[in-house]
């Protein structure tokens, strides 16, 4: 396809060729000067028109070339700018992605460090709890052992106290309820203080040389009570730990002959 400038230029060239052909034709056939002048002017006009058309065509082509060059340069510039813009966006996106990856990696590392620290703390807590449980079990076992020992000691103490109380009761005179000073045993087996026995036998109205009643069980006693020497040590220990109640007991009568006037 031809451009409009090329068509116009071709038309003027064709007209110029036609004009010059007519000029030569008129000279060849001996036409009049008027016809020769007319076709000569027409040919010259066509020639100048061709020149002008050629100039305009070249100007048009130059302008068109400049236009397309400018458009090309503009498109090239826009393309480069778009490429640079897209490259910049891609680079920014890549930088942002790398920054996000770096932040994620840093966060994961911190998370791992925190998790490791947390695991150590949890392990230390478990170790402390296990140690505390072990100490607690040991303390509870020790406490139970102490409680068992204490219960055993209490039981033994209770038994000992009962024995002491029973022994103390056995070392008390039934008449005056005081600690025996000089223990004597009757024929019926009751241990009483010598002074209390003398006072009881002397104050009991019975015929002379008759049997005397026991102050505890009222059994007949025909023979004088005899001393119990095996109780003297226990009596001394018990008397040392109690108040002195000798004033509450009856004094011994006639120490040279204990049972004078009684048996």
The answer to whether the beta carbons of residues 226 and 184 sit under 8 Å apart is: yes
Residue 104 lies in a domain: no
81-93 pLDDT, tens digit per residue, is 777 777 778 888 8
Cα–Cα distance list, 84 to 41, 78, 80, 97 (Å): 61, 9, 6, 19
Length of the chain: 263
Confidence of residue 227 (pLDDT cuts 50, 70, 90): confident
Among residues 93, 117, 139, which one ends one of the domains? Answer: 93
Q: Pick the residue with more confidence: 240 or 111?
A: 111
Among residues 48, 68, 93, which one ends one of the domains? Answer: 93
The answer to whether the beta carbons of residues 53 and 8 sit under 8 Å apart is: yes
Instruction: At 215, list the tokens.
Output: 């102050």
Residue 153 lies in a domain: no
**Does the structure show a pLDDT above 70 at 136?**
yes
Per-residue pLDDT at 247: 47
Among residues 51, 73, 93, which one ends one of the domains? Answer: 93
Residue 122 lies in a domain: no
Residue 219 lies in a domain: yes
Q: Which of 173, 184, 188 lies closest to 218 in space, CA to CA?
A: 188
Mean pLDDT of 173-188: 85
**Does the structure show a pLDDT above 80 at 56?**
no
Residue 257 lies in a domain: no
Mean pLDDT of 58-67: 79
User: How many domains does the structure of the chain reveal?
Assistant: 2
Residue 237 lies in a domain: yes
* Domain that residue 77 falls in: 4-93
The answer to whether the beta carbons of residues 39 and 26 sit under 8 Å apart is: yes
Mean pLDDT of 63-82: 81
**Does the structure show a pLDDT above 70 at 26?**
no
Cα–Cα distance list, 116 to 119, 225, 260 (Å): 5, 94, 104
CATH code: domain of residue 218: 3.30.40.10
- Euclidean distance between the first and the last CA atom of the chain, given in angstroms as a whole number: 182
């Amino acid at each position: 396809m031809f451009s409009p400038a090329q068509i116009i230029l071709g038309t003027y060239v064709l007209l110029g060729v036609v004009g010059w052909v007519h000029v030569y034709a008129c000279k060849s056939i001996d036409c009049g000067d008027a016809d020769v002048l007319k076709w000569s002017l027409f040919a010259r006009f066509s020639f100048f028109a061709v020149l002008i058309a050629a100039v305009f065509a070249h100007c048009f082509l130059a302008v068109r070339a400049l236009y397309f060059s400018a458009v090309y340069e503009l498109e090239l510039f826009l393309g480069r700018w778009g490429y640079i813009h897209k490259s910049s966006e891609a680079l920014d996106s890549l930088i942002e992605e790398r920054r996000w990856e770096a932040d994620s990696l840093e966060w994961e590392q911190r998370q791992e460090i925190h998790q490791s620290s947390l695991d150590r703390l949890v392990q230390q807590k478990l170790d402390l709890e296990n140690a505390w449980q072990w100490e607690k079990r040991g303390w509870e076992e020790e406490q139970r052992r102490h409680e068992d020992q204490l219960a055993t000691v209490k039981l033994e103490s209770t038994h000992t106290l009962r024995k002491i109380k029973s022994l103390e009761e056995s070392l008390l005179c039934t008449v005056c309820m005081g600690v025996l000073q000089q223990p004597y045993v009757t024929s019926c087996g009751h241990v009483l203080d010598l002074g209390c026995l003398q006072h009881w036998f002397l104050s009991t109205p019975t015929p002379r040389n008759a049997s005397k009643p026991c102050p505890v069980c009222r059994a007949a006693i025909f023979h004088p009570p005899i001393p119990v020497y095996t109780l003297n040590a226990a009596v001394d220990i018990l008397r040392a730990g109690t108040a002195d109640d000798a004033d509450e007991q009856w004094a011994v009568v006639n120490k040279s002959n204990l049972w004078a006037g009684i048996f």
